[in-house]
Structure 1
Amino acid sequence: MNVIDVRQLSAAYRKNTVLQNVSFEIAPGTLTGIVGPNGAGKSTLIKTVLQLHPYLSGDVTFFGEPLKKVKTRIGYVPQRGSVDWDFPTNALDVVLMGLYGRIGWLKWPQKKHREQAMQALEKVGMTEYANRQISQLSGGQQQRVFLARALVQEADLYFMDEPLAGVDAATERAIMAILKELRKEGKTVLVVHHDLQTVADYFDHVLFLNKTVIAHGPTEEVYTATNIEKTYGGAIHFMKGDGRNVSAIIH
């Protein structure tokens, strides 16, 4: 069974169509990069399938079920820029928010919940910052905390909206190591990604998006100069990597 089935999904902001007839399937245990130019609808796609943004038409199922039946199996990491980092809370409390589905919104976290949250912070290398106010963390540290909040949910499917944007090289390596480990555990991960030069190294599947799906499939098959040019247009200079994969620089 596919983890995600999207059929003819369309969405708009006011009168501007952002997604048009988007269809794709995601198999379990895959790490998929969603790539496309600015304004291609990458973030909107994630928000729409998760019903955080209304859609005009189409159908989406997860594990063969509607979203409301499987919400607890799905984790989501939004763009860091969409979060109010001045909110007065510390890193541990942010991670605990990922457990509220189990704890209950009107109940206090128990010792076992705090232990789970600390284990998630340990996975992302942030245990020493557990009591640090989130406004005092660097961009990379904030991103790690949000990743820990998703990990503590122990979901089967993860959506991550540009988790590598604006982070340092060490954080980028750490995040990708965690995502690849999730894949090894049989989890399914979709990542909005902006750096074409790292796509072939980071993802085993790629979904090229520019308001509609341009191409989707295993990276070694669909990550080609032709598909990149169809998606981005304009003048593109391609650099051959290992003879199989193609990296690209947009001029």
Structure 2
Amino acid sequence: MENSVLQVEGLSAAYRKNTVLDDVNFSIEAGTLTGIVGPNGAGKSTLIKSVLNLHPKLTGTVKFFGTDLKAVKKRIGYVPQRGSVDWDFPTNALDVVLMGLYGKIGWLKWPTNRDKQKAMEALEKVGMADYAKRQISQLSGGQQQRVFLARALVQDADLYFMDEPLAGVDAATERAIMTILKELKQAGKTVLVVHHDLQTVTDYFDHVLFLNRTVMAYGKTEEIFTKENIAKTYGGSILGLREENGHVIITRK
């Protein structure tokens, strides 16, 4: 696709010989905000990790901006699951954000004052400037998530991958994060978000990718977020589906 920033073809991956992704195919257009949804164990996090070469692929090809990852790595930002991070590592919030700039300044060089200013601006954007010198282990879950979002923002990437950025955060943090993600989209950036709450999909994302080991459906949220696609993707984990005023109402088991 001419406007594609990410093209995935025939992607398969496994954990301990158990296939978790099978023949995954999709193409993401520039300037979109996509929610990746599916039941537990559907392979959502594995999809992001496999695409970014953080988990080995069994089969398949992935193209970023028409080329391979290595050629465009600086144009890509990644926010991992909060639970996968060692929060006891002795560093403060500012240093975590500065790590997002190491791809540009180099690991063996000291950050300049301008680099530190950029990092502070990113912390300010996520409402964490007052916590710049605070050890990350002393921050709440929502605050930690905001710091990791700031680390991604300081990269000024063109394509962002975010693995459950809203999991376990308070309502204020959730609103703040979604405001920033929508601002990124408005600025022409492309954002893919692993998301767990079906109730907010239509409010948060303009595109949705239903995943259960393979792509069950993908496209514009207003067209794809239907009772049929939800039932096909979640199967028995969904107790009830109904439509009210054009919205899908979901009852989970």
Find runs of 4+ consecutive structure 1 residues off by over 4 angstroms: none
Aligned to 2:36: 34
User: TM-score by structure 1 length?
Assistant: 0.98
Q: Contact between 2:227 and 2:242, CA under 8 Å: does it hold in 1?
A: no
C-alpha separation between the residues in 2 aligned to 1:5 and 1:212? 15
C-alpha separation between the residues in 2 aligned to 1:180 and 1:170? 16
Q: Contact between 1:75 and 1:159, CA under 8 Å: does it hold in 2?
A: yes
Structure 2, unaligned runs of 5 or more: none
Aligned to 2:26: 24
Superposed, 1:155-234 pairs within 5 Å as: 155-234=157-236
Shift of 1:26: 0.3
Is 1:238 matched with 2:218?
no
Deviation string 1:70-102 (CA, Å, 9 cap, x unpaired) is 000000000000000000000000000000011
Amino acid across the alignment from 2:61:
D
User: TM-score by structure 2 length?
Assistant: 0.97
C-alpha separation between the residues in 2 aligned to 1:102 and 1:25? 28
Structure 1, unaligned runs of 5 or more: none
Superposed, 1:56-95 pairs within 5 Å as: 56-95=58-97
C-alpha separation between the residues in 1 aligned to 2:249 and 2:144? 29
Shift of 1:239: 4.3
Q: Contact between 1:120 and 1:152, CA under 8 Å: does it hold in 2?
A: yes
Is the partner of 1:4 in helix, strand or coil?
strand
Q: Contact between 1:123 and 1:148, CA under 8 Å: does it hold in 2?
A: yes
Is the partner of 1:3 in helix, strand or coil?
strand
Deviation string 1:8-30 (CA, Å, 9 cap, x unpaired) is 10000121001000000000000
Q: Contact between 1:237 and 1:248, CA under 8 Å: does it hold in 2?
A: yes
C-alpha separation between the residues in 2 aligned to 1:97 and 1:117? 9
Is the partner of 1:233 in helix, strand or coil?
helix
Superposed, 1:11-160 pairs within 5 Å as: 11-160=13-162
Is the partner of 1:247 in helix, strand or coil?
strand
Aligned to 2:6: 4
Percent of paired sites with the same residue = 74
RMSD of aligned residue pairs (Cα, Å): 0.8
C-alpha separation between the residues in 1 aligned to 2:99 and 2:82? 16
* Count of aligned positions: 250
